[in-house]
A and B are shown apart, each in its own frame.
Chain A
Amino acid sequence: MNAPEQTPAAKAAYDARWQRIMDCVALKQADRMPVIMYATYWLAKYGGVSYKELMYDYEKTKEIAERAVLEFEPDACISLPGAIALGNVFEATGYKQLQWPGHGVGDNQPYQYLDREYMKAEEYPELLADPTGFYLNKYLPRIFSAFEGFENFPVFPGTFYFRAITGLRPLANKDFRKALQKVLDAADEVDRYMTHAGQWNKRINALGFPLINGSASGAPYDVLADYFRGATGMMKDLYRHKEQLLEVIDMMRRNLVKMTIANARGSGNPIVFIPIHWAPDAFMSPKQFETFWWPSFRQMMLDLIDADLIPMPLWESDCTKRLDIIKDVPKGKCIYWFERTDIVKAYEVLGDTVALRGNLSPSMMTTGTPAEVDAAVKRLVDEVWNKGGSLLLDTAFGIPDETPIENVRAMFDSARKYAG
């Protein structure tokens, strides 16, 4: 499945699709409303395979994903195999933060994150003083079993002269050597996975379809809350470790920006997908939001914009009460994807500032009829697109796994019917 030579017609189609997305970002009305395809386990329903097969069988997943793109002809899609064919890398790394089909959940259940305290609040000073050392000695062994054995990986700062020599001794440890071999094997699997995903991406591009984003990232507060402290740990830190928390969040931001710029540039696609978890109205007070959450994320977006990238946060759940605050970004530089916030309301507040993406509801997509999908698309076209809005039509957070295929057809067909 190598990338075919791009025909002139495919190149023209690719350029037109990409231009549509860029017009939306620049807040210019495109020639038609772009429709985006984001799917994970829905491909199992579409391709008639199990969730587990999608996760482990690179070739089959690539084939099904390509078939879906060619059938629905989205204006852009995600790297579909990249988002789902992760079983082998999870196995190879011994990834502990998820349970996935065949590994903790059934063969036809989606992977699920295990919300735990992966770092204690007492460890903030250690993380701040030496993030690299903290990752090597503590964090990586906690989240990957392959790294168990790295707990005594030498800490080099402070060593010098003969101490720099004797400091190497932990590397002779048998347990460390075993762990190192597992990590090297895992890296080989990661290389295979990324090669498969990369080949698919190139092939899809050659066939005329851009990827909506080339990289992904997280908001500083969210990364710390979800992947380090755990939900309840982080909420308590808002009271118990206020000052330190701001310092750690700022450090997170600097490292996230560095990582994100490198990955985005490597991908050759300027759009950065950033799922947002802790911004919803119900999760913290406006004051907490404006103190702990928003400043670091706003700065992160500005840093990415300065690097000629296009932040595309997905504001999960309902963020209606945050709209006035998150409007404070340069005009025409971002795509805001909303999950449960009413896009029509979002358009009223943010329409002159950012492009919008979304947001056919999961309950309608899974339990509704094609006629209901058609009516929902029409509403967004009437209330946003036809009023000059820059809207990328999509579901609320990807096509829900259980969505009947005819409802997905209705989403694409209705978009073409009402908005070009």
Chain B
Amino acid sequence: MSEMNEQEKQLVDWLADMDEDSALALAKRMLLEEGVSPLRVLELCRNAMDIVGKRFEEGEYFLPELVLAGEMLETIGAIAKPLIKQTPGEEPKKLGKVLIGTVHGDLHDIGKNIVSFMLDINGFEVKDIGIDVPVKSFIEEINVWQPDVVGLSGFLTLAFDSMKETIEAFEKEGMRSKFKVMIGGGQIDETVRAYTRADAFGVNAVEAVNLCKTWMGEAA
């Protein structure tokens, strides 16, 4: 991004350091009183989220920071987006498309939501199709949206069979070679990966991001 002035640096720091009150007050002032370009503010937010992602990867930040960062981003986005009048500049190019959902029979979503958020702030276009997703919904979404990666999430042991069934259906439909499949969730390990014939599994959101980056030919 272009050079930042003092105020802009301050916003990035407050966001990255989880100083929510200061960051939100400054962002509001910039947007509503000082007429700073909403696109510029959103760019600063992305910059701050890069730092949050790095700190998470380095073991300084954990889930609470990702959740709070997500919420700050949402609050600022809700103010900034209606103010966008000018033609948006060139959107940063997305690294790839990731379709994600919790497999059928399983209603858990906390881990999936965090993975979606981390992929999003790391430059992926993410489509989250929710929980308890039937096999045919995955297939319909894949046909329409043509993702590069499909992420199957599940917390319960019943998810092992749901994941296996879902991936077998991709094979039957003849679409399996068109995208990579990653799985994740509380009980997932290499045994489950082999059982379901997924391409890879991850134990946390950073691993999910790194898998996708590697598959898209980016340095993880």
List chain A positions with a Cβ less than 8 A from chain B: 99, 105-106, 109-110, 112, 114-115, 231-232, 235-236, 238-240, 282-285, 288, 317-318, 361-364, 366-368, 400-402
Contact = CB atoms under 8 A, between A and B. Distances in A.
B160 A367 contact: yes
4 closest A-B pairs (Cβ-Cβ)? A363-B191, A235-B64, A400-B157, A235-B67
A284 B195 contact: no
B61 A235 contact: no
A147 to B, nearest CB: 24
Given A284-B62, A401-B158, A112 B107 contact: yes
A266 to B, nearest CB: 32
Given A361-B189, A363-B195, A99 B107 contact: yes
A362 B185 CA distance: 13
A62 to B, nearest CB: 25
B207 to A, nearest CB: 11
Contacts of A367: 160, 191-192, 195
Contacts of B160: 363, 366-367, 402
A284 B64 contact: yes
Nearest to B191: A363
Contact of A110 (B158, B186, B192, B195): B158
Nearest to B192: A363
Contact of A106 (B105, B108, B110, B157): B105
B110 A288 contact: no
Contacts, number: 75
A368 B62 contact: no
Contacts of B157: 362, 366, 400-402
A115 B111 CA distance: 12
Interface in B117-174: 156-158, 160-161
A402 B158 contact: yes
A285 B62 CA distance: 6
Contacts of A363: 160, 187-189, 191-192, 195
19 contacts: A99-B107, A106-B105, A112-B107, A235-B64, A235-B68, A236-B64, A236-B68, A238-B64, A239-B20, A239-B68, A282-B203, A317-B186, A318-B203, A363-B189, A364-B191, A367-B160, A367-B195, A401-B157, A402-B160
A239 B62 CA distance: 13
A38 to B, nearest CB: 14
Residue of B106, B108, B191, B192 contacting most chain A CB atoms (<10 Å): B191
B135 to A, nearest CB: 15
Contacts of B106: 112
B171 to A, nearest CB: 18
Nearest to B196: A367
Contacts of B195: 363, 367
Interface in B88-128: 105-110
A106 B64 CA distance: 33
A65 to B, nearest CB: 20
Contacts of A402: 157-158, 160-161
A288 B62 contact: yes
Given A283-B62, A401-B158, A112 B187 contact: no
Interface in B39-76: 60-64, 67-68, 71
A282 B110 CA distance: 13
B204 interface: yes
Contacts of A283: 62-63
A405 B189 CA distance: 22
B18 interface: yes
A109 B105 contact: yes
Contacts of B63: 235, 282-284
Contact of B107 (A105, A317, A364): A105
Nearest to B190: A363
Contacts of B187: 362-363
B110 A115 contact: yes
A240 B189 CA distance: 35
Contacts of B64: 235-236, 238-239, 284, 288
Residue of A112, A114, A364 contacting most chain B CB atoms (<10 Å): A112
A298 B191 CA distance: 35
Given A236-B64, A366-B157, A112 B108 contact: yes
